[in-house]
C-alpha cells in the first residue's frame, strides 16, 4: 500500500532543519548547508548536479533509497523559492534550474494561484491553494501505486504531522548545533501523535533515524 513519507530530512542535533534568513544567497538559511552536508557529499547528489565523484557508503545508500518508489512530491512554498506574497510574474522557476531533481509531479503549497510549470526531466510543478488535504489528494492521484514524499520545509512537515497524514519519516540527524532557524520539533509531540523511533542507522556524516506510526 502506498505510503506518505518524509525522506532524508536533515536535522541538526538541536532540532533545526533550516537556518534563519532564507534568501537567494542562502537558500537553506544561514549555516543551513552544515545540516545538509551528509547529502551534499554523496555520489547521488553530485550525479543529480551533473558532477563526478562523491562519497559512497551508508549516507549515499540512504539518499538513493529516499528517491526510490516516489510517484509525487509535496513542497511548501519556501522549498520552491524565496518569493513571498502574490507572484509578481512567472520568472521564478525554482532553485534547481530547468531540470529539477524530482522527475515526477510536484505539488507546491501556496496561497496564490499560478498555472502549472512544466520542467525538463519529467517534473511539473502544480500550485495548490486549497491546503494540505487537497495537495495530498492530488499527489496520491498522480502517484498511483507509488509513495508520496512530503519534501518540506519545516512548516509543511509540521502541518502534515499534526493532521496525522505522515506514515514514515526518515531523518538524517547531523551532529552540529545550529542555535537558531526553523526548529522541526517546535510545538510537536511525536509520541502523543502516535509515532515511535523504529530504526536508526549510523552513516558516515549523519545518523539516519526512521520514525513510524506505532
Q: Which three cell numbers stand for residue 100?
A: 529539477
Question: What pLDDT digit, counting tens, does each position of 41-88 carry?
Answer: 999 988 887 788 999 999 999 999 999 999 999 999 999 999 889 999
Q: Which three cell numbers mark 126?
A: 502544480
- Domain spanning 4-15+31-82+99-213: which CATH class is it, in words? alpha beta
Instruction: Give 210's strand partners.
Output: 170, 199
Q: Summarize pLDDT for 99-158 with one digit per residue, the tens.
A: 999 999 999 999 999 999 999 999 999 999 999 999 999 999 999 999 999 999 999 999
Query: How long a stretch of residues is the chain?
Result: 214
Q: By the 8 A CB rule, do 179 and 13 touch? A: no
**∠ at Cα 203 (57, 201), nearest 5°?**
115
pTM, full prediction: 0.94
Closest CA to 18 of 84, 110, 82: 82
DSSP 181: S
C-alpha 105/C-alpha 118 separation (Å) is 9
Do 189 and 169 meet the contact criterion of CB atoms below 8 Å apart?
A: no
Give me the helices (H) in 92-192, please.
132-143, 154-162
Where are the chain's structural domains?
Answer: 4-15+31-82+99-213
Amino acid at each position: 500500500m502506498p505510503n506518505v513519507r518524509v525522506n532524508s530530512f536533515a536535522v541538526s542535533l538541536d532540532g533545526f532543519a533550516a537556518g534563519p534568513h532564507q534568501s537567494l544567497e542562502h537558500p537553506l538559511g544561514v549555516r543551513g548547508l552544515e545540516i545538509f552536508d551528509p547529502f551534499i557529499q554523496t555520489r547521488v547528489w553530485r550525479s543529480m548536479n551533473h558532477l563526478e565523484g562523491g562519497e559512497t557508503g551508508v549516507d549515499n545508500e540512504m539518499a538513493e533509497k529516499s528517491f526510490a518508489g516516489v510517484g509525487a512530491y509535496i513542497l511548501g512554498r519556501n522549498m520552491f523559492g524565496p518569493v513571498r506574497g502574490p507572484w509578481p510574474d512567472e520568472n521564478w522557476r525554482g532553485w534547481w534550474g530547468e531540470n529539477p531533481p524530482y522527475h515526477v509531479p510536484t505539488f507546491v503549497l501556496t496561497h496564490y494561484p499560478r498555472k502549472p510549470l512544466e520542467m525538463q526531466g519529467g517534473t511539473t510543478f502544480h500550485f495548490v491553494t486549497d491546503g494540505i488535504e487537497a495537495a495530498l489528494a492530488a499527489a496520491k492521484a498522480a502517484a498511483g501505486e507509488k509513495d508520496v514524499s512530503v519534501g518540506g520545509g519545516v512548516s509543511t512537515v509540521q502541518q502534515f504531522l499534526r493532521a496525522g497524514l505522515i506514515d514514515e519519516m526518515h531523518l538524517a540527524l547531523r551532529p552540529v548545533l545550529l542555535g537558531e532557524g526553523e526548529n522541526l520539533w517546535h510545538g510537536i509531540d511525536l509520541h502523543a501523535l502516535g509515532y515511535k523511533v523504529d530504526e536508526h542507522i549510523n552513516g558516515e556524516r549523519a545518523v539516519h533515524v526512521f520514525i513510524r506510526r506505532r
